[in-house]
Structure 1
């Protein structure tokens, strides 16, 4: 039995004559904030939400203990190349019991960009993370998908011609679903194909288009609207997820609205990618992983090390990136001034590695010139 019903159409609901996906460039930046909604019939079970903000395990503290870089007596292995540390080995701030990796991780390099529908780029990182989700997924696994959803864009489904609605100045008729408790959920998709699959679930699909929007814009629409949450790739069960609104709010509270660093890391590597990240680190708040594992009260910041013994501070663009490693570390906000102080006071620190759960990037000190200049300005 279908648990979602479609609102009856009126004369005001006239739509284009064919069900198709519009070009992803169709007004993605011009969407009216007070979008209308249209319910879409979906023969799927009501969403079950078992994830809560408690799964963040203390994420978001604006203040924390004094932390120090750990020292290591480990002897380096065979020397590696001095110019390109390709795979630093993570060194937790304090010893901890090994934990099984349960989250969708990613390659250090961004995936090849693909289009499952011509002209509409997929959010490949999110699409691939969803393939690892099965029925009964844990909170940690769902948070792992959430972090990849933050890379790039999401598609929203619009009933009718999105391009025409935007050009006419109308609110977009965004497709939503309701469960038996009359809770309303917004739909989002990792690719245009996922939109098409959603439409094809319906016995009598109306003309449908898709609009690509920055992920933060989509999450803000859910948080500010009358929604219980967001369903991603609703036609792809069991490879779909449901995120409650309070979790989305928590995610946004800790995110860079522009997703500057994440956008660079998710894009194909360019000759100046490292320099762009270095510039961002001089102005954007990042996060570090802190572990108080030995109970002594001395907290340390996690770092990474190459086989030739060079040390790299681990930085993260969002608290979820720390959780994704599954080490039990606590995310701690780290301002540009703090990074500048660490680099200036630890001349043996070779650089930083950003988002080691992937996609990631290694920056040596020459790419961190803007941060080091900040240290000079601060008199460090």
Structure 2
């Protein structure tokens, strides 16, 4: 967690004071940022998750080489800069996926206000929203919000409140019995919320992991959360039920997504493989339409090598806009599939981006699980 305390009325040049990472309680009686009439309508409900992340079914087999790929869209949905493999682009005739996609490579760390590092993936996903955005687009924002940090606007000195063991007095919008925590993807979005506010000089900001913020919304009795509240139409409102559903299906540490969104080096594939060996992932199962065999989705490179598609969260499957259904996959199941299919060259993780292709030689942390199963 990083803390940014502002002593000036303007947020153009905030003083930056990083603090140790701690879990911070949130005071429900935070300072309202805006009158009730400015509360946006909740445009998405937990029903948008219907059919996403079903319970694990029977073991699904990969189709044989003769049967062909297990999905009708086995390659990236559009060209991606910095891709880790030579996957070709999907033909232009294919429909554009409904949710915002991202390049394969992680974004460069940037800031729209000096000293405040933006959550670039979330900022870009919000920027694609338009007035009246549908559930599909909002789920895309939710997908990209599950890694990285969010900024909370705090009334008073956040550093002082933490040192004294007090709950943070965070920005809240109230509408009768409803209350929404406010959080921001970037320094610019935070700056927009402070502009013209009477208490601007007494405002500070704190950065916390997005999943930690969502958990605080759930446990704090809030109705939901508003991301970038002053940036309409590039803002999103998520009810608490949706946050609970997303976290129920997520790895608490978001280990894979965090690695994919961070700067990479030659050891990144190994680290991602180690995370896959410890955490449940997801696979995409097709519905058998068009005469295809029911099986796990895979991708093929231009030279014919086969990569199993793996996903860190069911929303990563939904993001592709295909008819595939996400199914939870334990590390031991992944190990068995790879062990039983020597022709599989590796795995392709979170193809909607940021993504990474991991060769079999870097998957030893997963493959050893199949050896252990055999010993049992």
TM-score range, shorter chain: 0.7 to 0.9
Identify if the C-alpha distance between structure 1 residues 346 and 148 changes in structure 2 by more than 3 Å, giving closer, same or farther: same
1:52 aligned to 2:45? yes
CA contact 2:151–2:186 (8 Å) conserved in 1? yes
Corresponding position of 1:177: 173
**Distance across 1 between alignment mates of 2:36 and 2:43:** 21
Distance of 1:43 and 1:127 partners within structure 2: 25
Structure-1 residue corresponding to 2:62: 69
Aligned partners of 1:98 and 1:327 also within 8 Å: no
TM-aligned CA deviation for residue 46 of structure 1: 2.4
SS class of match (1:117): coil
**Take 2:27 and 2:154, find their aligned partners in 1: how far apart are those partners?**
14
* Residues 246 and 189 of structure 1: CA distance in aligned 2, closer, same or farther (over 3 Å): same
Pick from 240, 249, 254 the counterpart of residue 244 of structure 2. 249
Q: Which residue of 2 aligns with 1:158?
A: 154
Query: Residues 324-359 of structure 1: CA distance to partner in whole angstroms, max 9, x if unpaired?
Result: 000021110000000000000000000000000000
Residue 286 of structure 1, CA deviation: 0.2
Q: Shift in Å at residue 38 of structure 1?
A: 1.8
- Given candidates 251, 268, 293, the residue that maps to 1:273 is 268
Q: 1:290 to 1:90 in 2, by over 3 A?
A: farther
Equivalent residue for 1:138, pick from 130, 134, 137 = 134
Picking from 122, 127, 151, the partner of 1:126 is 122
Q: In the comparison of the two structures, how many residue pairs are matched?
A: 352
Find the residue that maps to 1:243 and give its secondary structure: strand
Alignment of 1:300-319 (within 5 A): 300-319=295-314
Q: Contact 1:24/1:210 (CA < 8 Å) preserved in 2?
A: no
Deviations along 1:303-332, one digit per CA (max 9) or x if unpaired, are 000011000000000011000000021110
Residue ranges of structure 2 left out of the alignment (5+ in a row)? 1-5, 70-82
Cα shift readout 1:283-316 (whole Å, capped 9, x = no counterpart): 1100001111328795311000001100000000
Shift of 1:69: 1.1
TM-score (norm 1): 0.86
TM-score computed with the length of structure 2 as normaliser: 0.87
CA distance in 2, matches of 1:37, 1:362: 44
Contact 2:99-2:140 within 8 A present in 1 as well? yes
Deviation of the 1:67 alpha carbon:
1.5
Superimposed CA distance per residue, residues 172-200 of structure 1 (whole angstroms, 9 cap, x where no aligned partner): 11110013x44100001001221111011
Q: Which consecutive unaligned segments of at least 5 residues does structure 1 have?
A: 1-14, 76-83, 92-96
